[in-house]
A and B are shown apart, each in its own frame.
Chain A
Amino acid sequence: MMSTAHAPLPAAPCLRIPEGEAPYLEAQRCGACDALYLTPRMACSRCGKRDDFHPQRLADRGTLYSFAIVHRSFPGVETPFISAIVDLEGGGTLKGNLRGIEATPEAVRLGMAVKVVIDDALGRRDKDGHAYLAYFFEPAEEPSA
């Protein structure tokens, strides 16, 4: 039996899990044009500037930009689920599951406020038995106008 006692690993490259602190999301910002990337690049794909990336912590709130309600997926994947595209406050766009809301077109509202929640990766383990952390979206209270 492999040990599962290790600290969970990040399931996405933009997920940071510092020891003894709350996990968070981090992007790489181009120093020349401010474009954001969730994975490292050799140069900025927007402006071409090389080796000028700076870590930028991403906000844990945003709004629902687009979505799909997935009813048919690959074997073993539980459906239905909401595949959501979220624009984060302060920049950056993420794709992930929107949970804590009924998976129907009536319940989901484009533009709705959501928060980012970091949690266990649906119990999925790798071949060595490691647990993972993933990010999810949940409905949030609308910011007061």
Chain B
Amino acid sequence: MSDDVYIIGVDMLKFGRFPDRTVPQLGAQAALLALDDAGLEIKAMEALYCGNLYQANAMVGQRLLQEIGQTGIPVVNCANACATGATAFREAWMAVKAGACDLALAVGVEQMGKGLLGGGGAGTGIPKEGLFGGGTMPTVFAEAGMEHSHRYGTTFEQFAKVSVKNHHHSTMNPKAAYQMETPLEMVMNAEMISYPNTKLMCSVNVDGAAAAVLTSGKKVRELGLGKRAVKVRASALTSDPWQERDLVMPDVNSCTRLAAEKAFSLAGLGPEDLDLVELHDCFATAELLHYENLGLCGDGEAGRLIDDGETALGGRIPVNVSGGLLSKGHPLGATGIANIYEVSTHLRGEAGRRQVKDARIGLTHVIGLGSACAIHVLEKSDL
């Protein structure tokens, strides 16, 4: 049986706008933070997995090493929509798990444009946006939310409560791009982007980077880093299985369910074993769907879960105590590793005011449309 894989260094930049920085520079900054967290130098790294979406053809990983040390190690650049960072992390995990190397660095980095994401391409002849419905991300996730409303009667107010909760959490996270309370009325009366998603129910377009250093259990002991190490109990990656309405609705549900099933089975755990979850709240509507997709409650119970405060800090299963993508920001390629940073910080007991008490096991989830879902189950150090 192969050795377990551990995170020994992990960190993120506070997300925001960095117009005077290049993508490799942002990635390099995060890499240095993660290396410092582990107390290691770039020379110790045996491989780099670099996730970035918008400059996927620009060798960001190699250019990142030009900033901090060109050691000749293998570099793999990867892109997988909003699951890009988590995919890079998973590649590093696989390299260590396979015994191909002892120390691997994973970086996720993104510089975002402004405005709406998505929308129908021109394709043939004439523009399609607003002709065959809408293709922007707020619209796609509004439709995914209304599908839930159709089945279970979930209300606009229940979706809005997700933003109230996550924005409240953000006030305790100095690394969130936005840290402000948004009462329910403020969320519901904010500019309507795509009903039921108002502006305060959409994640923020910001730049950012996050990085992690992964290693084997044997190496953790050698380095004497057991105390703050975080064990990767499971890593799962899925694409979207065939669904009846695929042709018109990108499916965020079935690939999450499939990934959750795989991750729990690999970890030998169930949703009842989790102490906290960082999930992909790219829009407030999405968070409620994933309560059910991840098994935090039964089908149709997500509305009740948010009403009862079970997913707030102090509740039965706190979700997105970082403030989530809604307040922390969502630099696509960085998001997946930033989630891992958040859960790791709680498992290390270093999350300050937002600390989930006695957190021992946490789950991170990201989903990229197209689609790709990555889930990691992390556990407090046993070394």
Contact = CB atoms under 8 A, between A and B. Distances in A.
Nearest to A39: B247
B192 A69 contact: yes
Contacts of A134: 131-132
Nearest to A86: B248
Nearest to A125: B126
Contacts of B133: 68, 70, 81-85, 95-97
B347 to A, nearest CB: 37
Interface residues of B, number: 38
Interface in A49-73: 65-73
Given A9-B125, A74-B136, 4 more contacts: A68-B194, A71-B193, A74-B127, A121-B126
B150 A111 contact: yes
B4 to A, nearest CB: 37
A85 B143 contact: yes
B297 interface: no
Contacts of B195: 68-71, 105
Interface of chain B, main secondary structure: loop
Interface in B123-150: 124-134, 136, 138-139, 142-144, 146-147, 149-150
B126 A71 contact: no
Interface of A: 9, 11-12, 35-38, 45-46, 65-74, 77-79, 81-85, 87, 93-97, 105, 110-111, 121-122, 124-126, 130, 132, 134-135
B180 to A, nearest CB: 21
B131 A65 contact: no
A130 B245 CA distance: 31
10 contacts: A11-B126, A38-B247, A68-B134, A71-B194, A71-B195, A83-B134, A85-B248, A87-B245, A124-B126, A125-B126
B318 interface: no
B271 interface: no
Contacts of B130: 70, 73-74, 77-79, 81, 97, 122
A35 B194 contact: no
A130 B125 contact: yes
B244 interface: yes
Contacts of A79: 130
A63 B162 CA distance: 29
Q: Which of A68, A79, A111 has the most CB of B within 10 A?
A: A68
Interface in B179-198: 191-197
B136 A73 contact: yes
A29 B156 CA distance: 37
B113 to A, nearest CB: 13
B126 A81 contact: no
B142 A68 contact: yes
Nearest to B147: A66
A93 B146 contact: no
Contacts of A111: 150
Contacts of B139: 68, 70, 83
A71 B245 CA distance: 24
B1 interface: no
B196 A105 contact: yes
B122 to A, nearest CB: 9
Given A69-B194, A71-B192, A81-B134, A126 B245 contact: no
A99 B149 CA distance: 21
Interface string B230-249: 00000000000010111111
Given A70-B134, A81-B134, A126 B248 contact: no
A12 B132 contact: yes
A105 to B, nearest CB: 6
Given A9-B125, A97-B132, A74 B116 contact: yes
